[in-house]
Amino acid sequence: MLVYLLRRILLALPALWLLGTLVFLLSRMIPGSFAEERFLNAEASFYNKNSQSSREEAYREYQQRTGQHLPIFYFSVSSAAIPETGPDLPEAVQEQLQQSYSYLLPKFSWHGTHNQYHTWLAGILTGDFGTSYRTGRPALEMLWENIGNTLWLLSASMLITLAVALELSISMAKKRMQWLRRLVLPALFIIDSIPMLVLSLLLLVLLANPDFLQVFPVYGMGYYVPGHLSIWQELGQRLQYMALPVLALVLVNLPYITNQVYNSLLASLQSDYTRTAKAKGLPEHLIIRRHALRNALLPIITIVSDFLPALVSGSILIETIYAIPGIGRLLIDSVLSRDYPVLVTIILVVLVVRMAAYALADTAYAWADPRIKQKLA
């Protein structure tokens, strides 16, 4: 089993390198740059009181200091300049240019290893993810400072969603709980039809509004409290500010997860082994929890492996709406300010989380089905 996981990790490394390369190159294609906005733009420039030449000189010094004056990749391909023909050129030269079609071919330029991509990749291999253009601090350090709130948000919403989805599915699968199915399934359908942005704003209006019910704080993570807080004090402070964001993520993802788990559980209850268990006289709750649920875990594991990356993308919007200092807000700020090192670092972390989710799904497959474990052994 361990050898299989190591093999999967080794196979995932080329995909991670390829996706990281694409993200790096695409981020450099975003129009504009941090330096152009801060130095060359006369309205937003730090040097708006100086002359244009002073701003251009500061811009060139910043580009060289951050390495942005280098070519982006090992080579570049550009269109060749169209030759100029006019009456001033000799007739022999004009005729030669008209008969030559070399200008139709793209111009290939080799830059060697002295380029931005090579510097970035060499830094990644040594643990250096670059320096933020906006703050001048290491991108990885900024990421670790903001990842705590995101981890709280993701772990709490994932555990609550899975627990509620499992319990609802098990309860609805019982024959005597038909009233619960008639109540829960339409309610989940209505919740699923509400976009995340609208649902988050509704929760703010209903549960964080002094004109209605101000049960939870509106946004943010509270004021700074000096001194060292105990784990229970920190947990209590986080819970009151995390309640609405977690509730929003749970409500957004609960309809889909519950529907998939419920359908998988129903299919498992119609199998031969469940009918055999019923014939033996086992109680319904034991048949569902001990026999049907474990055999229904395989499709559930597949859903959960895609659920975690979806939560990461959903947290970007949630953290922006509720003003939570996390990875989502850091990503938005990096995109708006063209802070490429921080932007690429965040996306790489999301890719690693997705691949780790798939590796954990393979481990869960082996736990749920002994036949898979024997094949991997």
Which H or E run contains 88?
none
6-15, 57-66, 99-108, 169-178: least confidently modelled range: 99-108
Q: What is the mean pLDDT of the chain?
A: 79
Range of the domain at 196: 139-376
95-99, 197-201, 283-287: least confidently modelled range: 95-99
Q: Is 16 part of a structural domain of the chain?
A: no
Q: Is 26 part of a structural domain of the chain?
A: no
State how far the Cα of 112 lies from the Cα of 109, in Å rounded to an integer: 9
pLDDT tens per residue across span 18-59: 988 998 888 887 777 777 777 776 665 454 556 777 777 887
Q: Is 275 part of a structural domain of the chain?
A: yes
Q: Which CATH number do you get for residue 251?
A: 1.10.3720.10
pTM of the full predicted structure? 0.76
What percent of the chain is predicted at pLDDT more than 90?
7
Q: Is 25 part of a structural domain of the chain?
A: no
pLDDT tier, 179 (very low <50, low <70, confident <90, very high otherwise)? confident
DSSP assignments along 11-74, one per residue: HHHHHHHHHHHHHHHHHTTSSS-HHIIIII-TTT-TTTTS-HHHHHHHHHHHHHHHTTTS-SSS
Q: Is 91 part of a structural domain of the chain?
A: no
Q: Is 53 part of a structural domain of the chain?
A: no
Whether the CB-CB separation of 135 and 333 falls below 8 Å is answered with no
* Chain length of the chain: 377
DSSP assignments along 177-220, one per residue: GHHHHHHHHHHHHHHHTS-HHHHHHHHHHHHB-TTS-B-S-SSS
pLDDT tens per residue across span 58-67: 878 888 888 8
State how far the Cα of 340 lies from the Cα of 243, in Å rounded to an integer: 32
What is the count of structural domains for the chain? 1
Q: Give the residue among 116, 106, 110 at the shortest CA–CA distance from 24.
A: 116
* Distant-in-sequence, close-in-space partners of 255: CB < 8 Å, separation ≥ 6: 188, 189, 191, 192
pLDDT tier, 239 (very low <50, low <70, confident <90, very high otherwise)? confident
Looking up tokens 């004056």, which residue turns up?
69
pLDDT tier, 1 (very low <50, low <70, confident <90, very high otherwise)? low
Q: Is 69 part of a structural domain of the chain?
A: no
Q: Is 7 part of a structural domain of the chain?
A: no
- Which whole number is the average pLDDT over 276-298? 77
